[in-house]
Every structure is written in C-alpha cells, then in structure tokens.
Structure 1
Amino acid sequence: MKPLVLFTATALLTASAAMAQTTPDSTAAAADPANPLTTYGFVDGYYGYDFKHAATNQRPGFLYSHNRQNEFTVNNAVIGLRYDNGQVRGALGLHAGTYVSANYAAEDQVLKHLYEAYAGFRPFQKAWLDVGIFGSHIGFESALSKDNWTLTRSLMAENSPYYEAGARLTYEVAPKLTLTGLVLNGWQNIRENNQAKALGTQIQWKPTDKLLINSSTFYGNEQPQDSVRRRRYFHDFYVSYAATDRLSLALVFDVGKQESEQRGGKADTWHTGAAFVRYKLADKWTAAARAEYYNADRGVIISTISPVAAATDFKVQAASLNLDYAPTSNVTFRVEGRTFHGRQPFLTDRNGNPTRNYGNLTSSIALSF
C-alpha cells in the first residue's frame, strides 16, 4: 500500500487532481478580513430513558452519542477558536461529554479532548490544504446535534467516522461543485495503529439551491500492526432536497467491504440506509421522522472490527420521531422517541433474556454561540 499512498499524497500536494472539503461545519463563520479570529461554543445537555433496559445506565454498545439512560448528563460540550484571513486558516477546539467518552475511548488521554486542531493555507486559488484533526468527510450527520435533523444519530452515523486525522486538500471546481482528497491515519482514529495510511475522497454537488448530492469513499487497512491485514473499502452516498420552505427530504446509503480470512476468504460486507423527512410546523416548531436499517455480515464494524467464524449477522431496523422547539435562534429543545427491531435477538433485556426489540426516549436542550 505504501507506493499507492506516496503517489496519492504527491497528487494531492501538486493539485493535479481537483479536491475539496466535505462535511462543512456549520459552526464555522465566514472569513472576515477585518476580524479573522472568531470564537464558537456548543453544549448539549440531555436525559434519556430506555424501555425494558438492563440494570445499567449505559445504552447498547452500538450507540455512541446520547448513549446514557436514566441519567442527566452532557453529550458534547465544545469551545474553540477559528482563524481565517482568506489565505491562512486554522482551528483549535476542545470538547468533553459522554460522546467523547464513548467515541474517543481508544485515543490517548492528551488527544481525546481535541474536537478539532488543524492548520491550513491556500496552495493556489480556490484550494485549501489542511493538516491536523477535523470532522469526518463521511456521512450526513455530524458530532453536533444542532446540525442534524434528528436528535440521536442513525446507526450508520454511529458506526462510521465522526472525526479524522490527516491531510485534506479541497478545491472548488465551480460554485456548485467541490472536491476533497484525504490521506488519513485511519478510520476514526487520531493515533495511528499500524504503518499504513488510509485514503479518502469526497464529491459534493449542488446543482440547485434545493438539492445537494454527496459521494464519499474510504480505503485502508484498519487492523492493528500485529494483526493480519484486512483492507476496508467503503462508500457513503446521500442526497438532500428542500422540497418547499417547510418540507425537506434526505436519503442516505452506505456500503462497505472488509477482507476476511474466514469463509474461504469471502469479504465481510455491511450495508445500511436511512430516509429522513423534516417539516417546519411553525416558526419555532419542527418535526422530523427517520426510518433506517443496518445489515452487517457477522456484525462486522458494528459489533467487532475483526469478526470470527462463529459471529452472527447483525440485521436491525429502526424508526424515530423527533419534535423540536427553538425559542431563539441559538437554543433548541428536542424530544425523540425511537424503536429498534432485529430479525434475531441482538440485546439482553432487564431480565437477562435475549430480545429482538428495543426502544428509548431522549430529550435535550442545546445552546450554540
């Protein structure tokens, strides 16, 4: 893989290929030459309750955001600085909360509280080259609940990267088309776990003001250095459409493969999809619904990074209904009900019995500035 990485890195830095940033962060302010330094912050306090839950405050292991139940706590609290004078830019953000405890559990203690930390410049007109830690180029949903149509994250978002560490080259081909190329330490990890680098791409096309189409890819070996190599191939696709001033729709589909020495060398495959509908009920009230599914051979990725021959498939469907109240532009109160159903038991209930069903309620007050 090393020659490929070297070639790709060189291509990125020479700008012979047009690349661009993905997953724009809505907390970023527009560049203002008169005041290039801006501050931002976000805090998301929540309470969740699970039905027929086992005697623990921890929600199922495949949920990482708002993953505590029957407990008042903070999902994510972020404070940071951003600098952008049009030619040079950078950011430093710190965060803490249950989201950090769950998603960054394997990271170094010194690094896990970095929400973002990168520096960049324009190597040529309409391009940015950034190096450091930044938001993932994969997915329709972000780490900050205020940017998402639903309070909790879909199964596909919870089990794909929220953040990345590496080099990112972005290029605005046209006002409606942006490309991104990345060389990364790996699949949601700040510290490298082997000697190989991962590659990523993203295309974002906005043919009209109402329609956004996104395609993101990932390729890499994510096994620890002392493990057998298993290359991972992944593609994320989504489209969002503002049908009217009140109604918005989105479709998301992910598919991935990871090499396996089990089953005669046949790759473990997972695919997952979700449909979102959001409707503005009134000036301060919004409702959203989500339907989704997640299928993973032997539970690859969602249950284990390296499944064994005896591991069972993970096949679950879920649906949720969301109600939001925004008394001001920077505060939102949200309530969401969610239910899960599996083709076979995938959890243990409060009586210690296997179950195919699971449901929860989550409420949140989020403040941003």
Structure 2
Amino acid sequence: MNRRNLFFFVLFCTAFLRIVNAQNDSLHLPKVHWQAYGDVYFAYDANDPPQQNVVHTLTHPAYHNQFSLSLAYLKASVAQEYWRAVAALATGSYMAVNYASEPEWARYVLEANAGVRLAPKCWFDAGIFSSFLGFESSISADNALYSRSFIAEATPYYESGVRLTYTPTEQWQIIVSVLNGWQRIVDNNQDKAVSAQVQYYPQKELTLSYATFYGNEGVGTTSLWWVHNPFVYYEKEKWSFLLEGFLASAEEEQQNSMAWAVCIMGNYYLTNQWSVSARFEHFQDEKEIFYTTGTPNGFVNTSWAVGITYSPVEQVKCRVECRPFYSKDDIYLKSNTTTSNQSVLISSGISWRF
C-alpha cells in the first residue's frame, strides 16, 4: 500500500470509529431533507448566430432564441452530529453543456457526497461537490445576475474527490481538496490535483476569500495549471458588492502561458420584491488556456451587464438581463456567417425552489 492510499485508509478508519462511538445517532433514523429546483430561460443573441448556442463563452444561459430548461434537480440531504450526506440528480442545458465530457452515468449527477466529523471542528467528505473556485455558482437563484461571469464560466462548477474542512473559529474556514481534475468526475489522466480555499470573516457582512488549484490537466502530455482566485464580498441590508480576481498559469513543454481577469459586481434591493444588479468584467486569455477562439489575439474580452430581478415570493425569482460583449478579435458569429468583435445578449429566466 503506497503512502497516499495509506493516508486515506487511516482517515476512513478514524471516521468509522467516530461513527461507531456515536451510539445516540445510530438509535434513530435520520431525517431526510428534500429540495426541488427548476430554472427556465429564453436568451437572444443580437448577432443571431446560425448555430443553436449563444456566444461561445457561456454555458449559463446556453442556447439562443429558444425557451430552454437551464437546470432542474431533486436533492436529498441528511445531516447528523457525526455524519452527513447529499445526493442530487439534475437535467437541463447546464448539465448537457458542462457534463458533455463525462460518461453517460455521470451526466445527471449534480452532487453526490458523504462526510464524517473527524473532530469537533473538522469534517472529511468524499464524492462529487460544488466547486469553491469562482464566486458564482451553477444555481442561478443564488447569483445576483442571471448569466455567469467569465471567471465563473472558466472555473469549475463541480469537482470530484475528497475534501477536508476545518473551521477553527467563527471567523475562519479552511478547505483542502484532492481532486480528479479541473471540473471532472472521471479523471482524464493518472494524476490528481490539489485545491484549497481560505475564508476569513472579520465581521458579519464581510468575506475575504482566496482559492487556489494546482494539477496536471494534460492528456498524453504534461500541462501544469496553477490558478489563483481571490475575492472580497460585502453584504449589508439592501446592497452587496463583489470584487473578484483571477490569475492562472499553464506550463506545457517548458512553455508558460498566463491568463488573468477581474470582475466587479453589485446588487441593490429597491424593495423586498425588486432588485437591480450590475457587473463589469475583463478576461485576458491570449494563449487560449480557458477560451478557444483560433484568432491572433486569443480571448481578450470586456463585458458589462445590467439586470432586474422580481421575486413575488421568496422561492421564485424572475430575471431580465442585458449584457454586451467587446472582444479584441472578431470572434462572434453572425447570421450571415461573418464575424464581429461585438455582441449583445438579452436573457430572461424564471427560477423556483421548494
């Protein structure tokens, strides 16, 4: 048994002993919490591209000029004193686009993980998780705007592996993961990746976060990725503000490529039911690590977005958003098969959660 397998064997044995010692938990059947979610949208690309997809940088929303189901899932979760588990099956255009490289059995698994408490402030989990890289998540109802930022689309929405979560105080949280790779359930090579996040809450309204990823994403060759993703998030009463950064390097055959991005986003509640949001961002990926364009300058893009949200009840959100794009090269396909360096995406969506 090699050292890595021995390490995980010891962790599992420790976790098992913790569960055995928790006799009170074993005497009662756990209560299962159920959650259902749905998200339907319509998006229109002003360039009216001949293909079905919207601007090629987006998977949220994914399809042009048609009513589509973005994401629908059914989720079951159990939380006990010494163990916990989550399972969620899903469908929709988000799953179709983001899980296209996964095997058939995995294309409907949004989450599937279980964990045990190793110590009062430490959890060990294994399975398929939502990724902590990128501030915005795959669940549109949890985000200020309907479409996702360049950073969110470039970073993983999900990950597969094992995770250790340590919360020494109410102000600190540290997560360390060993993963199959960058947004992968089934590994595409024999190497594993490592990822970590440190979050600090100096006050209730403020979150300071830094996340990183390091691993080989090459197939048949070595391509070492090192990604840094810090953000500052402030939320108080009726408004919130986000400043997020992104810096990545990829080393392949002794050649080093860099990409960077910045995102600024704000949200303001006009009333309990109405809110307005705005985002400005720039993504610089000249060597096409994350976005492939096949143009001389690669992906160099600036975008801003303005959106309105109406929530008649807490469980329902109705969205309308306008988002222009400005690229250095002509990367956006038009209806007459020519290309342009600009595009405007109009999107609207309705999400519900019960």
Please, what TM-score do these two structures have when normalized by structure 2? 0.91
Q: Give the 3 Å change call, closer, same or farther, for CA 109–346 of structure 1 in structure 2.
A: same
Equivalent pair of 2:76/2:88 in contact (CA under 8 Å): yes
Measure how far apart 1:159 and its partner are.
1.2
User: 1:20-59 counterparts in 2 under 5 A?
Assistant: 36-59=31-54
Equivalence for 1:229: 222
SS in 2 for 1:327: coil
Aligned length: 338
- Which residue number corresponds to residue 252 of structure 1? 244
Higher mean C-alpha deviation, range 244-253 or range 320-329: 244-253
Deviations, residues 41-82 of structure 1 (Å, cap 9, x unaligned): 110011111102222221122211211111011100010100
Distance 1:70 1:9, change over 3 A: farther
* Residue matched to 2:314: 329
Corresponding residue number in structure 1 for 2:100: 105
Contact 1:137–1:202 at 8 Å: present in 2 too?
yes
SS of the residue 2:37 aligns to:
strand
Name 1:220's counterpart in structure 2.
215
What letter is aligned with 1:341? Answer: Y
CA deviations on 1:192-239 (whole Å, 9 max, x unpaired) are 111100001100111101100111010000112xx2101100011111
SS across alignment from 1:100? helix
Q: Which amino acid aligns with 1:245?
A: E
* CA deviation after TM superposition for structure 1 residue 9, in Å: 6.0
SS of equivalent to 2:96: helix
Question: Among the aligned pairs, what percent are the same residue?
Answer: 29
Q: 1:272 aligns with which of 251, 261, 278?
A: 261
Please say if 1:153 is aligned against 2:142.
Answer: no
2:281 maps to which residue?
Answer: 292
Alignment of structure 1 residues 141-180 onto 2, 5 Å = 141-180=136-175
The residue that corresponds to 2:89 in the other structure is 94
Stretch moving more, 287-296 or 63-72? 63-72
CA distance in 2, matches of 1:61, 1:160: 15
CA distance in 1, matches of 2:130, 2:38: 17
Decide whether aligned partners of structure 1 residues 355 and 8 sit closer, same or farther in structure 2, where only a CA change above 3 A counts.
Answer: farther
- CA drift at 1:104: 0.2
1:314 aligns with 2:299: yes
Q: Deviations over 1:246-285 (max 9, x none)?
A: 1211100011000133xxx331111111000100011100
The 8 Å contact of residues 180 and 201 in structure 1, kept in 2 or not, is answered as: yes
User: Are the counterparts in 1 of residues 45 and 55 from structure 2 also a CA contact under 8 Å?
Assistant: no
**SS of residue paired to 2:132:** coil
Confirm or deny: 8 A CA contact 1:9 1:183 kept in the other structure: no
SS in 1 for 2:94: helix
**Matched ranges for 1:123-202 at <5 A:** 123-202=118-197
1:346 to partner: Cα distance: 1.8
CA distance in 2 between partners of 1:86 and 1:36 (Å): 12
Amino acid at match of 1:194: N
**2:200 partner SS:** strand
Amino acid at match of 2:160: A
| 1:274-301 CA-partner distances (Å, limit 9, x unpaired) | 0001000111000000000110122211
Contact preservation (8 Å) 1:299, 1:311:
no
Structure 1 unaligned blocks of 5 or more: 15-32
Matched residue, 1:17: none
Q: Distance in 2 between matches of 1:256 and 1:346?
A: 22
Which residue of 211, 220, 232 maps to 1:239?
Answer: 232
Which residue number corresponds to residue 349 of structure 1? Answer: 334
Distance 1:303 1:344 in 2: 12
Structure 1 residues 7 and 92 mapped into 2: Cα distance closer, same or farther (>3 Å)? closer
Deviation readout 1:99-151 (Å, 9 max, x if unpaired): 00000000011011001001110011111111000100211100100111111
Please tell me whether the aligned partners of residues 310 and 319 of structure 2 are also in contact (alpha carbons under 8 angstroms): yes
TM-score for the superposition, normalised by structure 1: 0.87
